[in-house]
Structure 1
Amino acid sequence: MGIDLGTKTIGVALSDVGRQVASPFETLKRTKFGPDSQRLGAIAQDHGVCGIVIGFPLNMDGTVGPRAQASRAFARNIAAALSLPVLLWDERMSTMAVERTLIEADLSRAKRAEVVDRAAAAYILQGVLDRLGRLARP
C-alpha cells in the first residue's frame, strides 16, 4: 500500500498481487490518528496488504524539514498500530509530476484536486515496485 501523506488528506494506492502495477485507490480526509489508522488498517486487511510505503518529502537539497519529520512520526506510529513494515520513500517532485500528467490529460482543476493525492500515492508506490523489480532481475 502506498501513502501520500498530506496535511488535510491521505492519498492511498494499492498494487496488484504480483507487485508490478500501482493503482490509485482512495483519498482519505485526515482527522485524528486513531480514526485514520483504523481506516488504513481496514484497507490493509481487506486487500491483503503486506507492507506500507509512505512518501518522504525531503527538501530539495536532501535535508529533513518539518513535513518529513511529520511523515517519519506517522510512519513510526502506523507501523506500530498496524503491525506492518513501513518504508519511507523519497517523494520529491512526485506531486508535481502527477499534476503535470493530469494537466496533459486535460483534467479540470477541480478534477485534478480530487485525484492528485491518490495518484501521487500510486506514483510513490510504483517507484518502489519498479526498484524492487530491478533488484529481482539477475
Structure 2
Amino acid sequence: MGRILGLDYGTKTVGVALSDPLLLTAQEFETITRERARALRHTLVRIKEICEEYDVELIVLGYPRNMDDTEGFRCEDTLKFKGLLEKRVDIPIVLVDERLTTVYADEILEESGVAKKDRKKVIDQIAAAIILQDYLDNK
C-alpha cells in the first residue's frame, strides 16, 4: 500500500508532507521553491520524483477558499496547478479546504520557539502536514 502526499501550493513555494506507510500520520517533508510564480517545471518534476520514490497513491492538495467560502484567484491558480500536475502523474488528486492552515502552522512554530526569520523555511511544509493530517483524520 502506498502513501499519501500532501501539498500546500503557493506563489513561490510548495510545501510537501508525506503520510507514514500506515496512513495514520503526516510528516513535513520539504519545501520546493521557485524563482518565478509561473516557473513550475522543476516543481512538477520534483513532485513526480517524490511520488515515484515513496509509492504515492493519492495526492491531497490544499484548496485556499476565502473565509466567506468564496473562491478567489488563489483557487484559480491552485486548479491550474492541479491540471498541470495531473498531466505529469497518474495519481488521483483530491482538493482539501486549507483555510487558516498557514496561520495555524505559524502558531505552532511560534509556540515551539522558532524565530520569526527561520519560520519561512518550514512553514509551508507544516501547512502541508496540517492539510494532510486533516485528510487522514477525516477519511
Identity of aligned pairs, percent? 38
Q: Which has the higher strand share?
A: 2
What is the one-letter code of the residue matched to 2:131? I
Aligned length: 132
Q: 1:111 aligns with which of 113, 118, 130?
A: 118
The gaps in structure 2 that reach 5 residues or longer are none
Partner Cα distance (1:33, 1:84) in 2: 18
Partner of 1:70: 77
The TM-score, its normalising length taken from structure 1, stands at: 0.92
What is the one-letter code of the residue matched to 2:12? K
Instruction: Compute the displacement of 1:11 (Å).
Output: 0.4
Partner Cα distance (2:117, 2:91) in 1: 34
Deviates more, 1:119-128 or 1:22-31: 22-31
CA RMSD across the alignment: 0.9
Partner of 1:61: 68
The gaps in structure 1 that reach 5 residues or longer are 133-138
Q: SS of the counterpart of 1:62?
A: coil
Partner Cα distance (1:98, 1:56) in 2: 16
Matched, 1:27 2:27: no
Q: Which has the higher helix share?
A: 1
Matched, 1:7 2:11: yes
Partner Cα distance (1:35, 1:113) in 2: 20
Matched, 1:50 2:30: no
